[in-house]
Amino acid sequence: MEKVIYYYKRERAAQLDKLISEPLFEQIMTYLIGNQEQEPILRQLKTAIPTTENLELYLEQMISHGIIQRKNRRYYLSIPIFSQEKRLKIPASTQIFLDESMKKTSSQEPFFGEILWSLFFDDDTDYFFGIKTAETSTTFVKRVEEGNEKLRFIALHLEDTFPLSLADYFSLLTKRAALPDTFKPLERLIGDVDIDYFITQALKVIRSSKRATSRQLKRNIFQEALLVTNDLEKTSDTTFSLTSPILENDNLSEVDEINTLKKLLSPLWEGIEDNNERVFYKKQLYSQLFHYYFPNTDVLHYFAY
């Protein structure tokens, strides 16, 4: 069974999340996707979508956000709907250079989550599109980041999963979203603790774990939290070791190497003029690389100062 997943720029989430979560959205989009050739008018929409809600008002909201348009009293989609069958491939020469870059770095997770992510996605491109996908289809990889200027928690994983990471936990708390059962062990330890306070205490644990010859801190809920999320592991009765990489500066790669990567990657999508299509293919390529370099990994997580 096919469904449509919608993607839009993160900065638009506050405006669009609530609109898209309404049942009317799915009903209207399903009808328009399946009846574009008929160029439906309002009367046809009202017949096909019986509702006690104000359908006309909801349609106006969708128009104002550029999701649909009305022309000559007829309604049309304004956003593209792609199929996952359409794919780009990374040339062999580019793949070889990426392989070498990944091998050279001592911190593969931060390199993948910082350098490659920025080369793919750090721009001001606005986008809004849908993707037809089967229930069992692989989804894209998303990057979740939470923290402050002292410490940031970063996690990369498939977008329809909720791994037990600090980045995802605090992201859900920020959104006041319901916590999946995965997070119950962490919730029992720290509850809805303020992230700035948590970071202050977590930094003490991190610094202590890095001082191998120093006296270890007495175990506390913040240390337990890092153990639960597998950012820390017990190495003996009295010592603990940090398992998650820490990015202490941005020097993950030489400037020349980054420039070369940019020259190799940019041509893969710079000829695609449509913003939506370009972002669609970039998300595909990045997810392909995630599965290629971390085939047996569900989530990458690391810290950054």
Which has the minimum average pLDDT: 130-144, 161-175, 255-269? Answer: 130-144
- 144-193 pLDDT, tens digit each: 999 999 999 999 999 888 999 999 999 999 988 899 999 999 999 999 99
- 69-127 pLDDT, tens digit each: 999 999 999 999 998 776 788 999 999 999 999 998 888 999 999 999 999 998 778 89
For residues 266 and 276, give the distance between their C-alpha atoms in angstroms, rounded to a whole number. 16
Element (H, E) at 172: helix 166-174
Q: What are the helix and strand counts (H, E) for the chain?
A: 13, 11
For residues 151 and 205, give the distance between their C-alpha atoms in angstroms, rounded to a whole number. 13
For residues 18 and 23, give the distance between their C-alpha atoms in angstroms, rounded to a whole number. 10
What pLDDT was estimated at residue 236?
A: 74
Q: Give me the mean pLDDT over the 40-55 stretch.
A: 91
**pLDDT class of 212 with cuts at 50, 70, 90:** low
Q: Give me the mean pLDDT over the 9-20 stretch.
A: 87
- Are 146 and 171 a contacting pair, CB within 8 Å? yes
- Are 165 and 298 a contacting pair, CB within 8 Å? no
Q: Give me the mean pLDDT over the 45-58 stretch.
A: 91
pTM of the model: 0.89
| CA 94 to each of CA 90, 116, 265, 286: distance values in angstroms, whole numbers, following the listed order | 7, 13, 7, 13
Residue with tokens 């993607």: 7
Between residues 256 and 212, the one the model is more confident about? 256
Cβ count near 162 (within 10 Å): 20
For residues 281 and 263, give the distance between their C-alpha atoms in angstroms, rounded to a whole number. 17
The yes-or-no verdict on residue 289 having pLDDT over 80 is yes
What pLDDT was estimated at residue 264?
A: 94
Structural domain boundaries in the chain: 2-79, 92-128+135-304
For residues 245 and 107, give the distance between their C-alpha atoms in angstroms, rounded to a whole number. 7
What pLDDT was estimated at residue 213?
A: 47
What pLDDT was estimated at residue 214?
A: 45
State what percent of residues in the chain have pLDDT above 90.
68
The yes-or-no verdict on residue 1 having pLDDT over 60 is no
The yes-or-no verdict on residue 217 having pLDDT over 60 is no
Residue with tokens 């980041």: 145
Question: How big is the CA angle at 186 (ends 153 and 180), to the nearest 5 degrees?
Answer: 90
What pLDDT was estimated at residue 136?
A: 60
Q: Which fold has domain 2-79?
A: Arc Repressor Mutant, subunit A (1.10.10)
> Measuring CA to CA, which residue among 79, 60, 61, 77 is closest to residue 15?
61
The yes-or-no verdict on residue 18 having pLDDT over 70 is yes
Q: To the nearest whole number, what is the mean pLDDT of the chain?
A: 90
For residues 252 and 10, give the distance between their C-alpha atoms in angstroms, rounded to a whole number. 26
